[in-house]
Structure 1
Amino acid sequence: MAEAANGYDSSSIKTLSPLMHIRHRPGMYIGRLGDGSHPDDGIYVLVKEIIDNCIDEFTMGVGKRIDITLDAGSVTVRDYGRGIPLDKVVACVSEMNTGGKYEGDAFAYSIGLNGVGTKAVNALSEKFTVRSTRDGRFHEARFERGVLQGEEEGETAERNGTYVAFTPDGELFPGYAFKSEYLEKRLWMYAYLNSGLSIYLNGQLYLSRRGLEDLLETETGEDKIYPIIARKTPTVEFALTHSDNYGETTYSFVNGQYTNDGGTHLSAFKEGVLKAINEFSGKSFKADDVRDGMAGAIAIKLRDPIFESQTKNKLGNTDVRGPVVAAVRDAIVDFLHKNKEVAEVVMDKVTRNEQMHRQIQAMKKKGQAAAVKSKLRIPKLKDCKFHPGEKWPRGLTPSDTMIFLTEGDSAAGSLEVCRDVNCQAIFALRGKPMNCYGEKFEKIYTNEELTFLMQALGIEDSTDFLRYDKVVIATDADVDGLHIRNLLITFFLMFFEQIVLSGHLYVLETPLFRVQVPKQTPIYCYNEAERDAAARKLGKKAEITRFKGLGEISPKEFGKFIGEEMRIQPVTLDNTKNIPELLGFFMGNNTPKRREYIMTNLEVPKYE
């Protein structure tokens, strides 16, 4: 009786095949789905999984070229490695836990060790073709949504290697489109990590000769204050330099995989740099003294990497710490002893950082009592219950945490009513924050608004302690709202650029229009094209409401815009060397040039 009443009996228990499990729970295998508007959307993970296999071949000393073609939403990838064993082609791309990376030396330093990646691509693709060529023979298999449709084999004059062609399933990735800038960024990372490997995307070559040294050269440009320190061994490669910018910029990789959330290898790299500076100088500088203005990259090769998820964003191996710290420390100390002029520049930078941090600490102490009182008087933060690093309730992960930076109390009130209190926090700005362009870091502590913001985010001492996975700017889509957005982005780029580079800063998109007819569910539109399409769909009786600000959207309506239907756009940069020029143009004192640019490029929407 109880079972029947609750609708839970033996018929409720289902066993999914591996194929159906991937299609029903794709997030477990590729993270987010998306439509390609975010660099971490699933369609880019599908491409990555195929390329990873090609990189594994190059790492083993075979196949120095990869050809990639992108055409109308379909992708082909061809490597010139050993090729999949012909009698195992179907199994390797469709049977879970099947592959050549579990034991032995066929793939000593593989990116993927779980036998899952290519199977996930196959299962999540509308069409998938794999063709392996070995020693004059080939075997080809064709699939649709993971189901085998046909096979072919025979003789061929083609070079050895593996060819994969796939089209992501439009049912799972509705309206998807590849953005070339996201793919190009990934391919350059592959090139930097695999010096000597030629990667072609639609005929364009991506090639690096100096590895991570090229990466930092591209990212820092003329901002660096001394030549890049670089060292490479068979298992550890790193590069390091400093600029006069604030904050630190770091890149970390494991077996060719970009770990944008770092991990034990990145922590060990930073520790090694600190130990090297202190050993060379005979002093006891603090970590911040060494890292402020630092740009660094670390790449390691590891036989058994342990990642926190299938998407491999963070390394968990604890045994890498000792070897990485020692390798980095010894190499930097040796370099500084052999390059006295560079050593003088490094020590001058670290000493200046130390002096600046003393001044900041003095400012902190001076305003500490007032800050405590103001916290009680002005409750700036409506916090959530859980944060990264804490034990999470079932169904939620640290990646769900976010804080909305809102424009005033009106928008904050709507958000507060409909937010998920477990993982969504709110920080209400009182008005336009200070323009931080050209300011010293010490001055931030004289500004109550920005001091509270740093405290809310937990980044006063280091961006490593960021209390939320996503920092979401939620301002009105009017002139004032866009100005506040620019001021906040300037604040992060000036002093906490690692938050931007690590993909933690976003802008919330909210609907501009509501189109409805009586007694029907309204349609919310984010641009004029969507508005016009909705109006045509609903007919002449359609009523169109233009939202002027977030506060005009009722809490009942707002819930869906920060829930499953939430649209957030990442704030991204091609490289850090563009930051000073970018901020100087848009936030500096060049008013005539900026006015001319705006008047030339301004597009004024026409409203009915």
Structure 2
Amino acid sequence: MAKDYSAASIKVLKGLEPVRARPGMYTRTDNPLHVIQEVIDNSADEALAGHASQIGVRLWLDGSVTVSDDGRGIPVEPHPQEKEPTVVVVLTRLHAGGKFDKTTGEGAYAFSGGLHGVGVSVTNALASRLAVTVKRDGHINEVEFVDGGKIGKKLSVIGKCAKKETGTTIRVWPDPAFFESAKIPERELARLLRAKAVLLPGVTFRLEIERHDSVDERVFCYQGGLSDYLAEQVPPDDAVVPVYAGEAYADGNNGFAKGEGAAWAVTWSDSATFSESYVNLIPTLQGGTHEAGLRAGVFEAVKSFAEHHALLPRGVQLRQEDVTGRMSFVLSARLLDPQFQGQVKEKLNSREAVKLVSTMCRDPFEVWLNAHVEHGRTIAEMAAKAAAARLKSAQKTEKKKTSGVAVLPGKLSDAATDDPTIRELFLVEGDSAGGSAKQARDRETQAILPLRGKVMNSWETDPNALYANKEIHDIAVALGVERHGLDSNPDLSGLRYHKVVIMTDADVDGAHISTLLLTLFFRHFPKLVELGHIHVAQPPLYRVDVPAKGKKPARRLYALDDGELVAIKDRLSLDGFKPEALEVGRFKGLGEMNPPQLRETAMDPATRRVLPVLATPDEMREALKLFDMLMGKGAASERREWMEAKGNLVEADI
């Protein structure tokens, strides 16, 4: 422990130092693609504003990347407040850019992907070298940075060009020390540029990849925009109606800022669906509120059309999932001040986006439905069939079977081995964590079943209606075991996995989901608990990065909770490590872990921590009484008495 705590104990990180100290707070650190994407986004913003038509990206053999555009060029004159060249300010200040002053109309970009103004400055912070060339006002200007933002070569004019010739070229050498892999995934980069081309019709994106003996080149340019792109993803032979594309933007008089709105393309098919969404050209891989707005607007339009044309059978009421379950779409939303979940901007959180997108798309889509009644009828009839099937399954649902064999859930990534005694099924919270788990697993013995949201409280659910819940239905089908009671003698010969692992986030929501799943197993599959087939993973809450010291290499430790974190720090302190030398990160959830971390902490039998859930028949009866008090709808008064008596024993993460 520190002997003295004074003003000298407080360390102030200046400039770009915070980024270099905690890169994971600002960007993905699996590879440098995201920091390069920040540069590409700046060029795309120039195109979105109507000032650029050519954007090029080149990957060099030395690991550097060049991004160039024919936009207006970053200003090079002194900044009025900072008194430094504006290009230097933009690249060395975390909160500097042309994306803040939006409401007055004085900002350079009204609609951009920039959220905090930390984009390209983060790129500079995590680069060993960054060179900028700006063509502007008839001059070619150049400035160079080294070692994460230090001036290596002052801004200077290196030549002349035609006055109408403008643009910015940035070459970045990402510092491998900050990334798990220094290699940029080429396929992901190509997909990103293709998506930008789709969203910016008429703008040409050029990708060049330098090889040892040649240069590979790909060019992306879509004149038809979203509709052409969706038609590629869902071929006409698979679609039951033609692609409908539309766009609408606010005029400033309907409660939204002028220019806010969306462009979209939608279609329906009987086969697999496709969805992709963007906000101000930024791909939102995890969706968000703008997608919710599109689904809401489409649902209201189809519902109104179906009611107007009397297409719904008596007693059938449409729900949103009935209408949008077979819908494929591409959505591009424009928001004045988008709020994302995390700096990597994979999910939109802006609440107003739901109302904005639904308002913009509903009326135009309803007009299209009434102008194309035949296609409208097809969509409405598909929705009505889905609603009728839902109502029927809600009354009594049995597991789907074909030729006596249960059809495994589509979301299940199964294990390769046929030996159930060594197979493991991981029930994972969310599609994001499910994706990491699929990459982290041992494909031979481990299967992954992602669960969407929280499984319902099944304590008092009628056994005949249990499988009406899709998540429970999928779990039962994957297990290969029928529901049963405590005193029954079920046939477990079809059990496909002898170890079922509940794997949720190490927070309150994760604990709630674990409780709901344990409720399901104790109530409806008690023999699996009694025989020791059920387990609960214990993913860590903290990650501690320990630097190299002497002959000891750098290593990474994990702490399950605050107590373990303190113990690890104390142990390292005895080994001579100062507290400031340790980097401590807190995991927000399983989805935040990269596959190697998830494998090491929760999935690899050699290193994971997994608690078995075991109970004798007598213990099961006592446990069921406790579950009845905690989960039963009619036990509120007992629950309150229990919480008053034992609430102080609970360790709550608030």
Instruction: Give the TM-score, by structure 1 length.
Output: 0.60
Say whether the 8 Å CA contact 2:115–2:339 is kept in structure 1.
no
The Cα of 1:321 is off from its aligned counterpart by 2.4
Matched, 1:68 2:57: yes
Q: CA deviation at 1:565?
A: 12
Q: What is the SS of the residue equivalent to 2:141? A: strand
Q: How does 1:143-292 map to 2 (within 5 A)?
A: 143-145=145-147, 146-151=149-154, 152-157=156-161, 159-173=165-179, 175-202=181-208, 203-221=217-235, 222-234=237-249, 235-245=261-271, 248-282=273-307, 283=312, 284-292=317-325
Residues 9-408 of structure 1: pairs in structure 2 closer than 5 A = 11-30=8-27, 32-34=28-30, 41=31, 43-72=32-61, 73-87=63-77, 88-103=86-101, 104-145=106-147, 146-151=149-154, 152-157=156-161, 159-173=165-179, 175-202=181-208, 203-221=217-235, 222-234=237-249, 235-245=261-271, 248-282=273-307, 283=312, 284-362=317-395, 364=397
Verify the 8 A CA contact 2:132 2:170 in the aligned structure 1: yes
State yes or no: 1:449 paired with 2:469: no
- Alignment-mate amino acid for residue 19 of structure 2: I
Conserved? CA contact 1:212–1:239, under 8 Å: yes
Distance 1:306 1:69 in 2: 31
Q: What amino acid is the match of 1:110?
A: S
Could you tell me how far apart the structure 2 residues matched to 1:287 and 1:33 are?
Answer: 38
Instruction: Work out the CA distance in 2 between the residues paired with 1:96 and 1:27.
Output: 15
Distance 1:560 1:456, change over 3 A: closer
Helix, strand or coil at the partner of 1:307: coil
Q: Flag the 1:190–1:232 CA change in 2: closer, same or farther, 3 A.
A: same
Q: Deviations over 1:27-66 (max 9, x none)?
A: 1111x312xxxxxx4x111121001111111111111110
Q: Which amino acid aligns with 1:320?
A: A
Q: What is the rounded CA distance, in whole Å, between the counterparts of 2:285 and 2:239 in structure 1?
A: 22
Q: Which residue of 2 aligns with 1:479?
A: none
Deviations 1:265-314 (A, max 9, x none): 11111111111110000153112211222111221111111112211112
Task: Give distance in 2, aligned partners of 1:457 and 1:238.
Answer: 36
Instruction: Check conservation: 1:3, 1:9, Cα contact below 8 A.
Output: no
Distance 1:166 1:244 in 2: 45
Contact 1:193/1:256 (8 A) holds in 2: yes
Count of residue pairs the alignment pairs up = 415
Kindly provide the CA deviation profile for residues 170-198 of structure 1, in whole angstroms up to 9, marking residues without a partner as x.
Answer: 22225421232111111111111111111
Query: By how many angstroms is 1:128 displaced?
Result: 0.5
Distance 1:254-1:120 versus aligned 2 partners, 3 A rule: same
Distance of 2:43 and 2:271 partners within structure 1: 37
**Is the 2:302–2:376 contact (alpha carbons within 8 Å) kept by the matching residues of 1?**
no
Rounded to whole Å, the distance in 2 between the matches of 1:210 and 1:68 is 23
Following superposition, the deviation at residue 382 of structure 1 comes to 8.1
Separation (CA, whole Å) in 1 of partners of 2:277 and 2:264: 9
Q: Deviations over 1:513-535 (max 9, x none)?
A: xxxxxxx99x9xxxxxxxxxxxx
Write the deviation string for residues 302-348 of structure 1: whole angstroms up to 9, x where unpaired: 11111122111122222232232122211221111111221232223
Q: Distance between the aligned counterparts of 1:286 and 1:260, measured in 2? A: 25
Q: Distance in 1 between matches of 2:480 and 2:38?
A: 41
Distance 1:79 1:334 in 2: 39
In 2, distance between residues paired with 1:455 and 1:269? 36
Q: Which residue of 2 aligns with 1:590?
A: none
State how far apart, in whole Å, the 2-side matches of 1:210 and 1:26 are.
Answer: 39
Cα 1:67–1:279, aligned 2, differ >3 Å: closer, same or farther?
Answer: same
For the residues of structure 1 that align with 2:193 and 2:179, how far apart are their CA atoms?
22
What whole-Å deviation, never above 9, does each CA across 1:125-182 have from its counterpart, x for those lacking one? Answer: 1210111111201321111122110122144216201110011112222542123211
Give the match's secondary structure for 1:269.
helix
Contact 2:144 2:151 in 1 (8 A): yes
Whether the 8 Å contact between 2:248 and 2:361 is mirrored in structure 1 is no
Assess, with a 3 A threshold, how the Cα gap between structure 1 residues 561 and 298 changes in structure 2: closer, same or farther. Answer: closer
Q: Which residue of 2 aligns with 1:588?
A: none
**Alignment partners' CA distance in 2, 1:329 and 1:57:** 30
Amino acid paired to 2:367: D
For 1:174 and 1:457, how far apart are their aligned partners in 2?
25
For 1:343 and 1:383, how far apart are their aligned partners in 2?
A: 39
Structure 2 gaps of 5+ residues are 78-85, 209-216, 250-260, 401-423, 449-469, 484-496, 505-511, 515-551, 556-595, 605-654
Deviation at 1:449, TM superposition (A): 1.8
Q: How does 1:532-551 map to 2 (within 5 A)?
A: none
Greater helix share, structure number: 1
CA distance in 1, matches of 2:603, 2:442: 21
After superposition, the Cα gap between the structure-2 partners of 1:169 and 1:563, relative to the gap in structure 1 and judged at 3 Å, is: farther
- 8 Å CA contact 1:68, 1:76 repeated in 2: yes
**Cα separation, partners in 2 of 1:225 and 1:560, compared to 1, 3 Å:** closer
Distance 1:16 1:216 in 2: 47
Over 3 Å counting, the alpha-carbon distance change for 1:559 and 1:275 in structure 2 is: closer
Q: Return the alpha-carbon distance in structure 1 between the equivalents of residues 183 and 265 of structure 2.
A: 34
**Is the partner of 1:15 in helix, strand or coil?**
coil
d(CA) in 2 for partners of 1:136, 1:207:
29
* 8 A Cα contact 1:240 1:294, kept in partner: yes
- Equivalent AA in structure 2 for residue 449 of structure 1: L
Contact 2:279 2:332 (8 Å CA) reproduced = yes
- Aligned partner letter, 1:315: L
Alignment CA distance shift 1:306-1:244 (3 Å): same
Alpha-carbon offset, residue 227 of structure 1: 0.7
Letter paired with 1:117: G
Once residues 559 and 182 of structure 1 are traced to their aligned partners in structure 2, the CA distance between those partners, rounded to angstroms, is 22
Checking the alignment, whether the CA contact within 8 Å between 2:240 and 2:269 is kept in structure 1 is yes
Which residue of structure 2 lines up, in the alignment, with residue 605 of structure 1? none
Q: Is the 8 A contact 1:360 1:442 kept in 2?
A: no
Q: Distance between the aligned counterparts of 1:565 and 1:450, measured in 2? A: 22
Cα-to-partner distance string for 1:533-586 (whole Å, 9 max, x where unaligned): xxxxxxxxxxxxxxxxxxxxxxxxx999424999xxxxxxxxxxxxxxxxxxxx
Output the TM-score relative to the length of structure 2: 0.56
Counterpart residue number, 1:577 = none
Once the two structures are TM-superposed, the CA of residue 114 in structure 1 deviates from its matched residue by 2.2
